[in-house]
A = this chain, B = another copy of it.
Amino acid sequence: MSDRGEINVGLMGLGVVGGGVAIALLEQSEEIARKVGQPVKLKSILVRDGSKSRDPRIPAELVTTNPEDILSDPAINIVAEVIGGIDPAAGFLKDALSGGKHVVTANKEVVAKFGPELFSLAQQNRVNLLFEASVCGGIPIVGCLMNQLLANEIHSIRGIINGTTNYILTQMAHHHTPFQQALDEAQKQGYAEADPTNDVEGIDAVYKLAILASLAFHSRFAPEDVFRQGISSLEPRDFQYAEELGYAIKPLAIATLSDGTVQARVHPALVPLDHMLAKVDGIYNAIEVEGSLCGHVLFHGMGAGREPTTSAVVGDLIELARNLASNTGMPAPASLGPGADGAYNRQLRVGSTDDLTSKYYLRLDVADRPGVLAQIASILGDGGISLASVLQKDTDAEQQTAEIVITTHPAREASVQESLAKVARLEVVREVKNLLRIEE
């Protein structure tokens, strides 16, 4: 194999993941050299605060606070970005690519929002941009969609791609913990951030799903193409009723392609208890891909955390380094990811959630009075929604209230929303507590 010269990595960011990547490059250097065919040297590490104490295994002379020490160093041919967020990471990535450096990033927000621009820059400059770590770190789903599963027309992706919300819902389901308490526990365990909005409201999952849908369907989907509903309206009793009905409640991300229309959505949903996704608990992630040839393939593993994300970043670094070591010319199209070239420019429509057909789970607080259910059923019936099951729960004699849990047969989302708005205006209905989709 030809040696085209040194392979030098500039690492941007030295947080939890950056530390993992730095230690792996430093301590596994012999192993990595063996896998690549020549040494891969960590040459510079960009940090924000040079005075912060660091892992003693990281030599002080590698650390810099000046991004130009990486971006303007002609000896650095690969940049690994693990800063996260848009600013300043997006600018650094653009500069790195424009400067002819290969890039590995773990930054889902940047890839989801600026993917097409970045991949065009990569193509113009004949370099690669890899991003396995941007979606579900320890699960090699990005590479599989870009490479091994490429013979398939992908019909759907369905998964649990946010470990924080899966941990919270698992606590609520197994220990009847209220939402806020489960969130507190997740923060205490380090699974949720101080500001949990991105996880709890599904924003993190939306970034990941936009990336996966782009790869799976060979088109370009932005975060705003994904419908989003958070998990904070769930109560422990929803899990209890769901289980009575034969379902678990899971934080799902779903993208389907049918008749040229893609539906992408992130929301909690009821999943049959015997489905593999119902058994994915705690901080674990899982993704099920349905392809025209491969059928259903499920990937299950750790989606976040220092080591799993390091596995993905260093895996991409090794791939790039191998290409450099083996004198590979122009990168293959799939390495360029969504939106860069003909392979990712399929014309597809983004479907409205109104047009979704699904089964639904409704929970209502109503007056405990004869004829209430008849009024509700009549409105739903007028909307073309037929009931699959009705449970009357927790009648409170003193307050004269009752709780009604309804599941429906498949119905159009727009009809369900419209009918439910009418139901909510009924004098006998105190509150519509929850509307959840059921995924079979």
Among A208-216, A291-299, A351-359, the stretch in contact with B:
A291-299
Tell me, yes or no, whether A342 is within 8 Å of chain B by CB.
yes
Tell me, yes or no, whether A372 is within 8 Å of chain B by CB.
no
A322→B279 CA distance, assembly (Å): 38
Tell me, yes or no, whether A403 is within 8 Å of chain B by CB.
no
Interface pair A311/B329, CB less than 8 Å apart = no
Partner of A300 from B147, B298, B330, B334 at Cβ < 8 Å: B298
Partner of A296 from B218, B301, B312 at Cβ < 8 Å: B301
Partner of A149 from B140, B291, B327 at Cβ < 8 Å: B140
Interface pair B332/A35, CB less than 8 Å apart = no
Partner of A138 from B294, B314, B328 at Cβ < 8 Å: B294
Interface pair B315/A326, CB less than 8 Å apart = no
Q: A323's closest neighbor in chain B, by CB?
A: B332
Among A61-69, A150-158, A260-268, the stretch in contact with B:
A150-158
**Residue tally, chain A, CB below 8 Å to B:** 66
Interface pair B333/A326, CB less than 8 Å apart = yes
Q: A315's closest neighbor in chain B, by CB?
A: B151
Tell me, yes or no, whether A204 is within 8 Å of chain B by CB.
no
A308→B279 CA distance, assembly (Å): 24
Tell me, yes or no, whether A139 is within 8 Å of chain B by CB.
yes
A301→B294 CA distance, assembly (Å): 8
Interface pair B151/A310, CB less than 8 Å apart = yes
With both chains docked as a complex, state the minimum distance between the C-beta of A60 and any C-beta of chain B, in angstroms.
25
Tell me, yes or no, whether A319 is within 8 Å of chain B by CB.
yes
Residues in B neighbouring A1, C-beta threshold 8 A: 330, 333
Given contacts A279-B279, A333-B326, contact A343 B143 (CB under 8 A): no
Can you name 20 extra interface pairs (CB under 8 A) apart from A35-B218, A325-B332? Answer: A1-B333, A20-B293, A34-B343, A35-B343, A37-B343, A137-B294, A139-B297, A140-B148, A143-B143, A150-B318, A151-B317, A293-B310, A293-B311, A294-B308, A295-B307, A298-B299, A298-B300, A326-B330, A328-B330, A328-B332
Binding site for B on A (CB under 8 A): 1-2, 20, 24, 28, 31-32, 34-37, 132, 137-140, 143-144, 147-153, 218, 276, 279, 291-302, 307-308, 310-315, 317-319, 322-323, 325-334, 341-343
Q: Nearest 9 CB-CB pairs, A to B? A: A140-B148, A151-B314, A293-B311, A297-B301, A138-B294, A298-B300, A294-B311, A322-B332, A143-B148
